[in-house]
Amino acid sequence: MLKYIIAASLIALPALSHAQSAPRCGDRSTLVKRLAEKFVEQQVAIGVTSNGKMVEVLASPKGNTWSIVLTEPGGPSCFVAAGANWVNVETRVAVTDFGDIPEFSIP
């Protein structure tokens, strides 16, 4: 029984370490350049959080790949998420002045 527990732990170990790894961060221009060169991704959406962080969505022209990058004010940019099958949808929220962030509620 003990050998099965050890075997299961060894199998799960790589998955756990990957899931707990920190996001990759660096200079924004370097990250954007690498995404453009490797995946042909370009900025398709941008926003600013209430604490001044910039959120960018970059996607390939046909939506095959996409990435979300979060940039700290005056600091590093970090990958937040990446995936496939990006689809642009119609804009449903009006653009507001900074500081006039609309309230969103989840039903």
6 within some domain: no
CA-only gyration radius of the chain, Å = 19
pTM of the model: 0.64
Q: 54, exposed or middle or buried, with CB in 10 Å at 0-12, 13-18, 19+?
A: middle
Q: Give the total number of structural domains in the chain.
A: 1
Q: Give 24's pLDDT tier (boundaries 50, 70, 90).
A: confident
50 within some domain: yes
9 within some domain: no
Domain of 45? 23-97
85 within some domain: yes
User: What is the full DSSP assignment across 14-56?
Assistant: HHHHHHTPPPPEE-HHHHHHHHHHHH--EEEEEEE-TTS-EEE
Question: What pLDDT shows up at residue 102?
Answer: 57
Per-residue pLDDT reduced to its tens digit, 39-51: 999 999 999 999 9
